[in-house]
Amino acid sequence: MPLASIPSPSEGVWYLGFIPIRAYALCIVLGVVVAVWLSERRWRARGGQSGTIIDIAVPAVIFGLIGGRLYHVITDWQTYFGDRAIKEPYQALFIWEGGLGIWGAVALGGVGVWIACRRRGLSLSAVADTVAPGIAFAQAIGRWGNWFNQELYGGPTTLPWGLEIDIRHGGEPGVLYHPTFLYESIWNVALGFTLLLVGKRFSLRHGRLFALYVAGYTLGRFWIEGLRIDPVGGVDHAVTFLGLRINQWTSIVVFAGALVYLWATRDKDTAEIVVPASARGDGGAAAADPAHPADQADEDELNRPAGSPGADNPDDPGGDKTGDPGGAAGTDHPEGADSLDDVGRDQAADAKDAATVASDGLAAREEKNAR
């Protein structure tokens, strides 16, 4: 046995009374928390509303867990079904025992995000770019759940960071194995920081940063997957095609798709919606009270006594001309307050009428005296 090695945990489950606390589940939850926290900060920095990512994360996580488990069961179906199955079919539902395919998690989780974005009126591409670094960090944390479960390890190695695997998990006494969970965790951390730097430096939009995440992840996953010896698609062996494992072929296809997307959207620069129309006042508060801007208070009108000038008084439709000519601008008069010229004309007309009355009175008195 080499002097240096990485021991595997003897237990991956602890009990709080009769409640099992599973390390695998804790790692997944911690990864989700970190991803949501980082993505929420990035969304607000982009101008989005606080709490949006938290709301979107709920359907994304639910759909993602379902998709991840489906991919695992489909690619490892012989573990649960068939004559050589080593587990009962109902155990395919036991997600806490490990087995989440990242491909299914991202694919179906993306459906959950799409539904949430569509309901809120947000651009899916904007959300995808925002959460990309957080997903990479979440995967880095989640991979430590595989360490607790003693799974996803590579072939034998004499390197000082070789991983100890006990016999009940497929290991052999005195043999160390490549800690592929650790390789992928380190790769994902580096990828997450790279995405943060690249996104800040080049301001990638319209899903291009997410596509870069996909390309970066699959690039690392391809060579890490080549080190693994645990079975995928079979009970005691991994299903291969042309010398490559299933997940390696998946990496190739998804990597190519990411490159195609990057090329197809290289010149796309249209605006993306990060704040829904209702939050901007379009069809919201302004539509409910069209006489006022969305941020204009009605307190002055509500506190104005009944019958006072300008308070819906039919005897004074023009408002208080001595203190507020024309009333409140933009409310009772859509065109705003009367101009000073209009006020001057009104005053001249009143003076003319008074002079006419005085002249008529004087003429009447002179006529009476003459009689």
In which element (H, E) is residue 16 found?
strand 13-16
Q: What is the pLDDT of residue 222?
A: 93
Q: Coil, strand, or helix at residue 49?
A: coil
Counting every residue written for the chain, the total comes to 371
Cβ atoms of 172 and 47 within 8 Å: the answer is no
The upper half-sphere exposure of residue 221, i.e. CA atoms within 13 Å in the direction of its Cβ, equals 25
Amino acid at 285: A
Tokens found for residue 292:
């006022």
Q: What is the pLDDT of residue 359?
A: 54
Q: What is the pLDDT of residue 39?
A: 95
Write down the residue that tokens 């990485």 correspond to. Answer: 6
Q: What is the DSSP string of 287-351?
A: HHSTTS-TT---HHHHHSPTTSTTSS-TT-TT--TTTSTTSSBTTTBTT-SPPHHHHHHHHHHHH
Q: Coil, strand, or helix at residue 132?
A: helix
Tokens found for residue 324:
């507020």
Q: What is the pLDDT of residue 268?
A: 87
Q: What is the pLDDT of residue 139?
A: 93
Q: What is the pLDDT of residue 64?
A: 86
Q: What is the pLDDT of residue 237?
A: 57
Q: What is the pLDDT of residue 238?
A: 64
| CA-angle at 121, arms to 118 and 126, nearest 5° | 85
Q: What is the pLDDT of residue 312?
A: 43
Tokens found for residue 165:
């695997």
Question: What tens-digit pLDDT sequence spans the chain (371 residues)?
Answer: 455 788 888 777 888 888 888 888 899 889 999 999 999 999 999 888 888 999 999 898 888 888 888 887 877 767 777 777 767 777 777 776 667 777 788 888 889 999 999 888 899 999 999 999 999 999 999 999 888 888 888 889 988 888 988 887 777 888 899 999 999 999 999 999 999 999 988 878 899 999 999 999 999 999 898 888 876 655 455 667 788 888 889 899 999 999 999 999 988 888 888 888 776 654 444 333 333 333 333 334 334 444 444 444 444 444 444 444 444 433 333 333 444 444 445 555 555 555 555 555 545 555 544 44
